[in-house]
Structure 1
């Protein structure tokens, strides 16, 4: 035997009219005329063979059957809306695995990740801090932060922001008896290096400074170690503005000079060409970009 289902439009008209106890307000809510509401209610009453409303002193009231029926069906449409939202947003649920260099994870992402979780509580973020390797965007990773020049074959990349390199040191070192008033004064200090000595060579060349030996000073495998050493007064780092900002804001590092140089490399948001339009990847990418934009403002 086929189940008897009332007309959907009539059911919606009843739900709205019963909620407001007004055909006029129901018409406004559903963007139809009052006559249309009356017609739909009449159809439903005929379908059910039950009187749903009565008028008393020009006031619209539910009958006993009408009240019982409204109590049973009042949440149906909200359930439909919720189910539809869940279906449409199914790509924004589940988990997203993000791979990135340890320095970026520790200095920039970890202090902010709770904000993403608040905005998108149904997306679990899994962070993989790995040494940079162009192969770390594998099948287990949805999106990655690469450091480089933005050209990786078969991958979609978008620059997070323009990187600038500037000397950084601790307030203690800046106040020492070795001056830091001219760029040439760098020759009297230990230079701290990130992975290689190339950044200092590039930076000094931009200002035509030749009498500084860049082949001295320790080399660190991660940017956060360079910044930590500089904050402890161990020497002068050439830091990128994105990762160094927390240390600068906290007063652990200062910029002794105004001079800065745009880096040839930078942080890029990277994903597979075939995957970059997935909703969860798009949401995470747009959130990353919005965080950088807020910081730059």
Structure 2
């Protein structure tokens, strides 16, 4: 048996459910005249009336009453089927690997946004220090640059032959501290005031140059500060530990703003000075070309790039957008 056109059935179902041509037109984003035309087409196809046209409203005929509930059920089933296909398209498992500091301080705090958009994607996040290129080079490790992940965020120079490479952030170092250090007996207002405060250090265990990972000696020299012992203060083997100690008020750290984004947003950390020093490496997102053909991997890749493009703390203090809170300066 030949069915009436789907558009006419859809128009009838909406008009019958609302008991209104105008409301049906608004739901289907067409004009009331178009709804009326589709219903007349349906009645011609069925060779019977489905509505009684009254002066102020419409009423269903016996044929319309018989047709409505089954059509409503059928359209609901079609909607559920389409939704199931869309969920299937964006379902699956995605593994993302990132350096520990970025994974814990930047990526993890915002994953709830991805989960809200793609609840059917099963996420696996791994933090690997070998995703810092200088670590791998120093240790002589080769092997898989992806650390067996679908997507990897690497800290390096962006030269990953055979992989699709997207730049995420430049990396730079700038002093950070608790806002409590801006007040009190020895308020931190100029770089010279650092002589009254504890300097916090972090290291990767590598013999890096100042251009690769600026230290306090390099920053103090650039700021033309004399009389401050650049080596004093505790040392941590991970930058996120040093930044956490700074947020707790222990001292001042040369931190990475994009890694400290959550603490800068909340005010746990502030950047007291404009001067920052670039780090030779940047953060890159890499993946095998065929991996992005998987809808779930493509969804995560696009989401990561979108989050990175909107990161408020991705630029050095001297390049900050006007809508951002200004650092305390002298």
TM-score, scaled relative to structure 2: 0.68
Unaligned residue ranges in structure 1 (runs of 5+): none
Match of 2:91 in 1: 93
Match of 1:68 in 2: 66
Larger displacement relative to structure 2 (227-236 or 93-102): 227-236
Total equivalences in the alignment: 291
Aligned partners of 1:192 and 1:219 also within 8 Å: yes
TM-score, scaled relative to structure 1: 0.74
**After the TM superposition, which residues 177-256 of structure 1 pair with which residues of structure 2 at under 5 Å, given as runs?**
181-182=190-191, 190=199, 192-195=201-204, 196=206, 198=210, 199-200=214-215, 203=219, 206=222, 219-231=235-247, 236-248=252-264, 253-256=269-272
Change (3 A) 1:80 1:270: same
Q: Distance in 2 between matches of 1:202 and 1:15?
A: 73
Match of 2:37 in 1: 36
- 1:288 corresponds, among 285, 307, 313, to 307
**After the TM superposition, which residues 88-167 of structure 1 pair with which residues of structure 2 at under 5 Å, given as runs?**
88=86, 90-133=88-131, 135=144, 137-139=146-148, 141-167=149-175
Match of 1:272 in 2: 288
Change (3 A) 1:234 1:178: same
Q: Distance in 1 between matches of 2:248 and 2:57?
A: 78
**Alpha-carbon offset, residue 112 of structure 1:** 2.0
Aligned partners of 1:191 and 1:214 also within 8 Å: no
Aligned partners of 1:163 and 1:240 also within 8 Å: yes
Change (3 A) 1:257 1:80: same
